[in-house]
Amino acid sequence: MESKRCYVCGKELSKNEIGLTKKLIDKKANKFYCLSCLAEYLEVTEEELLAKIEEFKEEGCTLFK
Ligand SMILES: [Zn+2]
């Protein structure tokens, strides 16, 4: 899998961070965010985003591991 970097800070992204960007912004997104930049962008906390990841995983979403 090609590695992607955060659009804002340039940090290398995990599969979960890429999945979260797709789920919460756009599944055809071409800009991706790391957890802390995504939290800031969406005006939520990182904890809320981590909880979202767990929710999506429980739904069996293949974007997350
Ligand atoms: Zn970032």
Is the pLDDT reported for residue 1 higher than 60?
no
Give the residue-averaged pLDDT of 37-59: 97
Cα–Cα distance for residue pair 28/63, rounded to 1 Å: 13
Ligand 1 centroid from CA 58, angstroms: 25
Cα–Cα distances in angstroms (integers) from residue 2 to residues 9, 14, 18, 39, 58, in the given order: 18, 11, 11, 23, 25
Kindly give the distance from the C-alpha atom of residue 18 to the centroid of ligand 1, in angstroms, as a whole number. Answer: 11
* Angle at 26 (CA atoms; ends 6, 18), nearest 5 degrees: 35
- Distance from residue 38's CA to the centre of ligand 1 (Å): 7
4-45, pLDDT tens digit by residue?
Answer: 999 999 999 999 999 999 999 999 999 999 999 999 999 999
Yes or no: say if 16 and 65 are a contact pair by the CB < 8 Å rule: yes
Spell out the domain ranges in the chain.
Answer: 1-65
CA of 37 to the centre of ligand 1 (A): 4
From ligand 1's centre to the CA of 51, what distance in Å?
18
Let me know: does 6 contact 13? Beta carbons within 8 Å. Answer: yes
